Amino acid sequence: MSVAVDAERELLVEARRIAEQVAAPVADQVDRESRFPVEAVDALRAVGAMSAAVPEALGGGGVSLETIARCCLELARGCSSTAMVFAMHQIQVLTIARHLDGTGWYEGYLRDLSREQRLIASVTSEVGTGGDMARSIAAATPREDGELEFEKQAPTVSYGAYADDLLTTLRRAPDAEPGDQVLALTRSDQVTLEPAGVWDTLGMRGTCSPGFVVRARFAPEQVLPTPFAEVMNQSMVPLSHILWSHVWLGIATEAFERARAFVRASARQKPGEPPPAARRLSSVMADLTLLRGEVSQALGDFVAADDDVGRERLMTMASVLRFNNLKLAASEQAPLVCGGALEAVGILGYKNDTPYSVGRHLRDALSARLMVANERLLATDAALLLIAKEA
C-alpha cells in the first residue's frame, strides 16, 4: 500500500472518529447555544486535517478531493456545523492550491497553514450586490506606503470571528468594473471585524456567520494573480457545490439512519409483522439513493475534468449549468430526506430528547436552499439555457 493511500485512509478514519467521539456528543449543545464547535475543529487541527488538501511539497497531506468530500459527509453525520466549517475551509485551500501559478507568497502561506493548521474563512458576499458573487463593490485600494487596503460590507462571514485568515473578493482597483475581481488573502492581524448583526438562525447555528464590516491592510503580493472570474468557474463554485452537497448528504444520511433505527426497534417489538413506518422508510431510502447518486456523479465529473484541457471546459456554460444543477438538486433533496425521516419516526423524531430526533437535521438541511439562493441559480440557468449549445 502506498504512502498516499495510507494518508487518505488515515484521514478518513480520523474524520469518522472525530465525528462520532468529539462532534456528535456536543452537536445539540452547539446548535442550542449557537456556538462555534471548537472541540471538533481543535480535534481536526490536531490530526493535520486543515492542511489535508495542501500539496505534499508544501507540507500538506496532498489527499484527493474524493477523500476531502467523504470527510465532509462523515463529519456532517456527527455535527452539521462542524462539517460546514471544514468544507468551507477546504474550498478556500483547494482554490488557492489550484491557482498558485508559482506565486511565492502563496506557497509560503500554504507552508504556514500546514505547520500552524490555520483556518481560512471566505468573504464573498457583499451588501449591494444582490448576492451576486461575480460582482464586488469593495476594491483593493493603493495606499501611499505601497500597501493595499479595503473596506467591505459583508452580510455574512462564516465563522469569521474564529478564522485565522480571510480570503476576500474585491474589485482589482478603485476604478475597476464590478466584475473585474481578484482574491486577496489577509491574516487576522491585518484585519479588523466590526460586527454588523448577530447569528440567531433556524439552522447551521454553530457556523457562527453574522455580518461584519471587514477592513484590512495588506501587501500587494497577497492578491492572487489569477482573475477571479477564472478562479470562480474553474474552482470556487464547483468545489463549493461539491463539498456543500456532501455535507447535505451526510445530514440526510444520519437522519435516515435514525429513522431506520426507530423502525428496527419497532419491528423487534412485534416480530414477523413489519411496522407501519417501514413503508415510509423505503420511500425515504429511494430519495436518499437519488441524492447519493447525484452527488457522486458530480464529484466524478469534476475529477475527470481536473487537467489542463478539462479546466478549460469548466469555464463553459454547460459546466456552469452542470454544477448549478448539482446544488439545486442536492439542496432540494436533502430536506426531503430529512422530512421523510421525521414522518417515518413520528413524535419521537419531532422531540429533541430522543435518540431518534431529526429536528436539528431538518433545520440544518433547509439552509442548503439559501447558500447561494436557489432562485438566483434558477434565474442564471434560465438565461444560460437560451444560449448554451448543450446542458
C-alpha cell recorded at residue 311: 479546466
Is domain 121-222 given the CATH code 1.10.3720.10 in the classification? no
Q: CATH for 3-118?
A: 1.10.540.10
pLDDT exceeds 90 at position 101: no
pLDDT tens digits, residue range 319-346? 889 999 999 999 999 999 999 999 999 9
pLDDT tens digits, residue range 216-249? 999 999 999 999 999 999 999 999 999 999 999 9
Are 148 and 202 in contact by the 8 Å Cβ rule? The answer is: no
Beta bridge pairs of residue 169 = 183
Given 3-state DSSP classes, what are the helix, strand and coil percentages for the chain, each rounded to the nearest 5?
60, 10, 30
Residues of the chain with CATH 2.40.110.10: 121-222
pLDDT over 90, % of the chain: 87
Q: Compute the average pLDDT of residues 189-210.
A: 97
pLDDT over 70, % of the chain: 97
> Binning pLDDT at 50, 70 and 90, where does residue 1 land?
very low
**Dihedral sign (CA 313, 110, 107, 222):** positive
C-alpha cell recorded at residue 314: 469548466
Q: How many CA atoms lie within 13 A of 54 on its CB side?
A: 24
Most confident of the following: 2-16, 199-213, 367-381 = 199-213
Per-residue pLDDT at 102: 78
Residues of the chain with CATH 1.10.540.10: 3-118
Residues of the chain with CATH 1.20.140.10: 228-385
Which pairing describes strands 165-171 and 120-123: parallel, antiparallel, or unpaired?
Answer: parallel
Other Cβ atoms less than 10 A from the Cβ of 98: the count is: 17
Are 337 and 255 in contact by the 8 Å Cβ rule? The answer is: yes
> Binning pLDDT at 50, 70 and 90, where does residue 287 land?
very high
What gap in Å lies between CA 268 and CA 166, rounded to an integer?
Answer: 52
pTM of this prediction exceeds 0.75: yes
Per-residue pLDDT at 164: 98
Q: Compute the average pLDDT of residues 369-374.
A: 94
C-alpha cell recorded at residue 111: 507552508
> CB burial class (10 A; 0-12, 13-18, 19+) of residue 45?
middle
Q: CATH for 228-385?
A: 1.20.140.10
Per-residue pLDDT at 391: 57
- Mean predicted lDDT score pLDDT of the chain: 95
pLDDT exceeds 90 at position 69: yes
